[in-house]
Amino acid sequence: MSTAVYDAIVVGAGSVGMPAAMSLAEMGQKVLCVDQFASPGQGSNKAAIGGIRATHSSPAKIRLGLDSLRTFSTWEKEHGDEIEWRQCGYLFVAYRPEEQKTLKDLLVIQKKAGLNIDWLSREQVIELAPGLKREGLLGGTYSPEDGSASPMLSCLAFHKRAVKLGVTCLFGERVTSIIRRKGKVVGVRTDKGGYATGTVINAAGAWARQLAQTGGQDAPVQPDCHEAGITEPVGPFLKPMVVDLRPAPGSRNYYFYQHKPGQVIFCITPDPQILGTDRRETSAFLPMIARRMVDLMPQLANLKVRRTWRGLYPMTPDGSPILGRSQTLAGYVDAVGMCGQGYMLGPGVGALVARLVTERLKDGDAQTLQELSPQRSFGGGTEALK
């Protein structure tokens, strides 16, 4: 085992792990970040489509989303790195009374949690996104401070700052076990050695459950597969991220937006779930989502698709993250089960992990940790906007 002793070891250098390591270092901690892949963000981060929203249906996720938005929106000004941030807003459209009711009901929770969001009339939605199909449009909710950025550029920027602050990063090294002694974390063992610490943060994404089990813990996280795609770049024509919650054969919601360099990026939620870790693209995805997108916005029909890909969503039974300390293993902290929202929530989650580990919680943190506790009952309702 290495003779170095770390205040904290973060397992995972992706959407959650890299901001967590950075935030811990900002609080003066000596941090080691270990990842099985060759460089930052090579797990699920590189498959994220880049949407960043605080528009959620639970107060905890709204708080984390607002914290994350502050990080993304000010990053270039404060640190100088271009991460392709664009404040475009999220537009959830309603074409049926069912979605209209869901979205209007959520406004009460969202506004109470501090989210800047409003219901737009049919005419206001058309003004915001003129290309949308008008037949049947009832209106929608719009949160103007949400946005988008590049997941890879963001992760690399967080890594750059973390290293500058003194974080040691080890890539191409897989943690094989969490070392325990008398109910406490004392280190981790990898396929290349061992490292001493009293605190381990599980930020292993789709591999979180396997890591937890090496320490005698469990995390009800199961990956499922989602596909996405990107078009050629074109001139600006679409401001918001558009989300359509209506189900259709083979899928539930789908969403798309125009990225800062001009490409349209799109994704769909399969129904039923495709469980497992297979990341090969399928032949069904593009025809399915293309029909839905062109029906909603006909002007998309002539865009050329450059590529598609498939990524993993580390899902929990209730569609919300698992965040907090273990009650049975001192020094073990979960930051897992982001349900495909690790990129947009990552900076907020990472900062909260750092405050939890250093015992510097701020207002609202206790409520967030209670709502997302590893010890909560997972038998309740699911997150409405997951």
**What is the pLDDT, as a whole number, of residue 384?**
61
Chain centroid to CA 117: 20
Domain count, the chain: 2
Q: Is position 69 within any domain?
A: no
Q: What is the DSSP letter of 199?
A: -
Whether residues 238 and 292 fall in one domain: yes
- Are 131 and 231 members of one domain? yes
Q: State whether 125 and 213 are in the same domain.
A: no
Q: Could you write out the DSSP letters of every residue in 346-384?
A: HHHHHHHHHHHHTT---TTHHHHHHHT-TTS-S-SPPPT
Which of 81, 57, 79, 55 is closest to 69 using CA atoms? 55
Domain co-membership, 98 together with 212: no
Query: Domain residues for 112?
Result: 88-145+223-315
pTM of the model: 0.96
pLDDT value of residue 281? 86
Domain co-membership, 330 together with 209: yes
CATH code for the domain of 110: 3.30.9.10
- Of 210, 240, 235, the C-alpha closest to 223 is 210
Assess contact for 197 and 6: CB atoms under 8 A.
Answer: yes
Asked if the structure places residue 379 within a domain, the reply is no
Q: Are residues 251 and 128 part of one domain?
A: yes
Are 262 and 168 within one domain?
no
- The answer, yes or no, to whether the previous bond of 249 is cis (omega within 30 of 0) is no
Q: Which of 210, 159, 107 is nearest to 346 (CA)?
A: 159
Q: pLDDT value at position 386?
A: 60
Same domain, 124 and 229: yes
Q: Answer yes or no: is 262 within a domain.
A: yes
According to the 3-state scheme, what is the secondary structure of 311-339?
EEEEECCCCCCEEEECCCCECEEEEECCC
268 and 330 share a domain?
A: no
Per-position pLDDT tens, the chain of length 386:
666 799 999 999 999 999 999 999 999 999 999 999 999 999 999 999 999 999 999 999 999 999 999 999 999 999 999 999 999 999 999 999 999 999 999 999 999 999 999 999 999 999 999 999 999 999 999 999 999 999 999 999 999 999 999 999 999 999 999 999 999 999 999 999 999 999 999 999 999 999 999 999 999 999 999 999 999 999 999 999 999 999 999 999 999 999 999 999 999 999 999 899 888 888 899 999 999 999 999 999 999 999 999 999 999 999 999 999 999 999 999 999 999 999 999 999 999 999 999 999 999 999 999 999 999 988 755 666 66
Specify the pLDDT at position 3. Answer: 62
Residue 380 pLDDT: 58
Residue 169 in any domain: the answer is yes
CA distance 375 to 326: 8
Residue 383 lies in a domain: no
Domain identity same for 211 and 343: yes
Query: Do 106 and 34 have their domain in common?
Result: no
